[in-house]
Chain A
Amino acid sequence: MENVNLIGPQLLLMAVGGLLLICDAFAGLLGARRWMAWYVVGTPGLALLGGLGSLLWAVAHAATDTRGSAFFDTYVLDDFSLFFAVLFAGVVIAVVLFSVDYLRGNRHQAEYYALVLASAAGLMFLAGARDLIAIFVALELTSICQFILAGFLKDDRSSEAGIKYLLLGAVAAALTLYGMALLFGLSGSTSLEGIARAAAEADDQRLGFVLASVLLAAGLGFKMAIVPFQMWVPDVYQGAPTPVTGYLSVGSKAAGFAVAARVFVEGLGQGAIAPDWATMFAVLSVLSMTLGNVVALVQNDIKRLLGYSSIAQAGYFLIGLAAVAAGEPQVELGLGGLLFFAASYAFTNLGAFACVIAISQRIRSDSIADYTGMARRSPLLALALTLCLVSLTGIPPTAGFVAKLYIFNAAVQADLVWLAIAGVINSVISAYYYLRIVLNMYVGEPVSPEPVRPTPLLAVATAAAVAGLLVLGVFPFPVIDAAEAAARAFS
């Protein structure tokens, strides 16, 4: 029972997902009117309750200092996994709020919410898994659900997104598995502890460990959406239902970094190979930032633009991972920076997607040209989107500024000054396309005078995200403390 409590937040999500499926299977017996009630209120309501319950459970863990490892040390509830559990529960709530109006009229929404909940449970397992097999199972749990979600609309674009994501995801899973098999062969253990022990003393097997790191980075890089494993991002982001795009760009990406941090810092952090993978991540970071930002400059579709922007943001995440390897005090700074960046990015990007959903639902277009004059059609939405884009650029007083400051500082402290400089140059490039949208919204004649109003649920989600990014920008200290405590979980 002790074990069950430790994985409570995930279990609750999965149980609610199963309940949704069962209730939906029998809802047809209720008669047409009650079925409508179930369909309109019951399904999203139950999913939302699941998300809230999971969040409360995770917060209760944090408040009561419940920590420990479960299931023969394959899953661990420490500050690190708890930080991500809270983050993912928040993401689930946001995704449910986004989806309610987006899915109106879709007959399969119970399945949709069940898949969202199950994949979120997978994300939480991913952040706490300490065993290669547990990591792989969690990775597949979340990936398979997300493949279906990406193709959920069943129109041409969405199906293409689903298939593309599935095929490339299968390749990535194979690469991950190959890397894991190598690690197991080199260390004789599937637990990260055993791998860490083997990696610390095995100087003659350095080549093998480097090869394993490269394969693992390739497989996990697919989840993190970093160059050169970013090919799927624009098409999948554009084709998938927009709430799912928001989910992929925040939840899936953060989980990718969580598991990469755990495998590389906890498993391969000691010994001669740490500088090798740190250099690899530093190079990939510069590539991701540059490619994402440069290609985003010429995008006309807002979902594609946010897709490329998320590749660029993944580059900033990687700075934190590259800074970790420099030595003992760096673990806290680099990893703390990564975690704080994840929190700030979650609020910012979810807010941006909430605005995009609200606007494109009304104007039936994802083209940036149609955002012209949006400030006159909907002053509040335009303001919210502006704040999110400003935060993505990294301008005070928003969360993005603090996060970038933190993570660049970590790079400088780790003697990676060139990386910090590359990051700053890239932030300047990104300002052009982020602020171009802002300019577009405030200057120029609107395409049509018709006002754009968000639905109440989207308004709540947007307001919460914007409030979050402003609070994190002005008073970030509680979250920074939590991030640093989480980063200490590895040492």
Chain B
Amino acid sequence: MSEMKIISKGNLADFLKALNGDREVIVSSIENGTLIMGNMGSVKMETGFNGRPLIPPKEYFFPQREKIFTFNAKDPKKVDIVAHTNDAKRVIWGLRPCDLYGIKTLDEIYMSNYVDTYYKARRDNTVLMGLNCNEPCDTCFCDSTKTGPFASEAFDVMFTDLGDKYLVNIGSDKGKKAIEKGSKLFGAATDADKAKAADLEKKSKGAFKRSVRSAEAKKKLPGSWDDKLWSEESLPCILCGGCNFVCPTCHCFNIEDINEGDGVSTRVRYWDSCQLGGFTQMAAENTREHQSERLRQRIFHKCVYTPDKYNGVPGCTGCGRCIEVCPADIDITHILGRVTSK
């Protein structure tokens, strides 16, 4: 365990402003009753809050729509290509454990074997500062997926809300360097501070409204392949793709060349959804013709394929966003409950 520090809530804004010199600072804010993330300069920062924003922070590394490059083919003999690199430096404060583990999973996918340069450029330039969850929200179950409510890794700096101050845990060199920029604002944490944080974690763990038996589900899922549960649970799905778009680990994209006229086109990539028929449509057939197969794919990808393929990182971080947004009330905890009850 690294060294623990303390900062008073009143000093947080000053600390973040000290980082603001060469970095955009992203914080959380409540607008019209909704938790959102935004630039510290343009939103009213919340220093203590419950829940997580509906759109996960993956959009800061893997935007919903991203320009890859622009090419000018007006003269076919001399095609001019300009890549759209991004080297903006950022610090994000207030990331929830579910989202930090989500970023860790995306790191494995986009930066371990095959390196996605667009993702990596943003990731390298971002400092991740988390805020532990003193209270779970209605749909989350991160305790069951071992990705919360308090994070033990996957952050540069982690904050725990102790009321009028935060307990601060440094998790990386990047985090250490950031803290040094405001070192005067931090003090040493006492044993009482640490004990209070441990107590908060215990209370939070006891307050979950949902749970799944993740390890057992992972073991039993392959046996459920032909179960009728997939057609039953997917029956009301309206194919909106919302579950994918709000998932902190969903990372599939499609690519299009957008004709901008006058010989200029831009290649863009944008989030795609495995719940849509077109996702697996081949020239003649669809490998996942029925919605039951697509729902099964989503759950298997989260709970089996991702951990198996990427060093055991979680495909589902228990944030519960897919449950919250689903207009068909499709609930991953209910589905995994059916799987484990067999």
The judgment on whether A and B are partners is: no
Identify the A interface with B (CB < 8 A): none
